[in-house]
Amino acid sequence: MSQESTPSGTPHPPAAHRRHTPDHIAEVLRQRVHSGELPRNSRLPTQRALVEEFGVNRTVIRQALAELERKGYLVSRGRGAPATVTAPALNDAPRPAGVEVADRIGLAFQAEHVSIDAFSLTTETLSSALAAPLIAIAAGELAPRSITVRVLLPSPDARLAFPRLLTDPDDPRPLARLKELTRTFSVSLRHQLLSLAERQLVPEVRVEIRAVAITPLQKLYVLNGTEVLTGYYRVVPRVVEYEQQQMEIFDVLGLSSKIFRSSSDKDSRDEQETAFVEESRLWFEALWSTIAQPVTLG
């Protein structure tokens, strides 16, 4: 059998020299996603083409594709249409939090048991990212058996480094505005999640919010214990409105901060990345179980 070439011209090994298991085929396709050979939003080859390439029957191909879909690499279009790649290549440039966090949380919700640990200035990005999977659950498109969300926020009464007025660091209004925003987003997030259990859409839902007396300089999300999303808060001057007055403050723009993704699952690039995920998880757990205090939202 002659070699087949990738779109970039790199020949694929002949099928005769491969192990013809669903796991191996899934791994080959996963590597093509990671390398960028199969970029996000591209169509996979047809099942018939994959049968010919790998020299296996259609059942084996379907099992491999089902594994990739379960892991969030593909989404099936049904009726025999080629699946679409949903995961980015590992060498993709980092994307804004408002985009990347939403995408990755959407994929995390395909798991049977969903867990999210979040550390941030407010819950604005997280609340926005949860919108799509919550709609999918209500529509019956997703059906997790449990959802556990733990959120760490700065203490509402702490004297934070930001936000603050450019001209008067002691003016209490920027922190008062932040406190109101944080409470609004947090109450909404908790209500949306707990309503899934109240409507009997998800059997078990747990939401807990705690606070620590520190200024977050970065945001961190640990998804299902195997993936970490992190990004830095960049302090910028900007004008905001509070109590019908405009204020020029030092603030951060969380939704536009670039997010870096690390995994300890099968798509981990090396041992260092796996270790980073574990250390991030332990860092969050240490704060959560020691100096963090429960927040009462009313």
Q: What is the pLDDT of residues 41-81, one digit of tens each?
A: 788 898 889 999 999 998 999 888 888 887 778 877 655 67
Q: Are residues 22 and 53 in the same domain?
A: yes
Is residue 90 in some structural domain? no
Distance, in Å, from the CA atom of 235 to the CA atom of 253, rounded to the nearest integer, reads 8
Q: What is the mean pLDDT of the chain?
A: 87
Q: Provide mean pLDDT across the span 244-263.
A: 91
- Give percent of the chain above pLDDT 90: 58
Q: Is the pLDDT of residue 130 over 80?
A: yes
Q: Are residues 204 and 256 in the same domain?
A: yes
Q: Are residues 202 and 62 in the same domain?
A: no
Distance, in Å, from the CA atom of 58 to the CA atom of 269, rounded to the nearest integer, reads 30
Distance, in Å, from the CA atom of 227 to the CA atom of 222, rounded to the nearest integer, reads 6
Q: Are residues 193 and 163 in the same domain?
A: yes
Q: Answer whether 263's CB lies under 8 Å from 252's CB.
A: no
Strands 146-154 and 204-212: parallel
Q: Are residues 121 and 266 in the same domain?
A: yes
> Dihedrals φ, ψ of 114, to 5°?
-100, 130
| DSSP H helices in 7-71 | 22-35, 47-54, 58-70
Q: Are residues 22 and 103 in the same domain?
A: no
The pLDDT of residue 103 is: 86
Which residues form the domain of 225?
95-294
67 vs 173 pLDDT, higher one: 173
40 vs 163 pLDDT, higher one: 163
Q: Are residues 110 and 244 in the same domain?
A: yes
> Dihedrals φ, ψ of 216, to 5°?
-65, 125
Distant-in-sequence, close-in-space partners of 43: CB < 8 Å, separation ≥ 6: 82, 83, 84, 85
Q: Are residues 50 and 165 in the same domain?
A: no
Domain count along the chain: 2
pLDDT in tens, 4-34: 444 444 445 444 444 578 888 888 888 888 7
Q: Answer whether 84's CB lies under 8 Å from 41's CB.
A: yes
Q: Provide mean pLDDT across the span 254-270.
A: 84
The pLDDT of residue 281 is: 97
For residue 19, the domain's CATH number is 1.10.10.10
Is residue 111 in some structural domain? yes
Q: Are residues 212 and 129 in the same domain?
A: yes
Q: Are residues 113 and 163 in the same domain?
A: yes
Rg (CA), the chain: 22
Last residue of a domain, one of 52, 85, 118: 85
Q: Are residues 239 and 188 in the same domain?
A: yes
Last residue of a domain, one of 85, 118, 138: 85
CA dist 204 → 150, 155, 292 (Å)? 14, 28, 24
Distance, in Å, from the CA atom of 212 to the CA atom of 235, rounded to the nearest integer, reads 20
Last residue of a domain, one of 39, 63, 85: 85
Q: Are residues 124 and 225 in the same domain?
A: yes
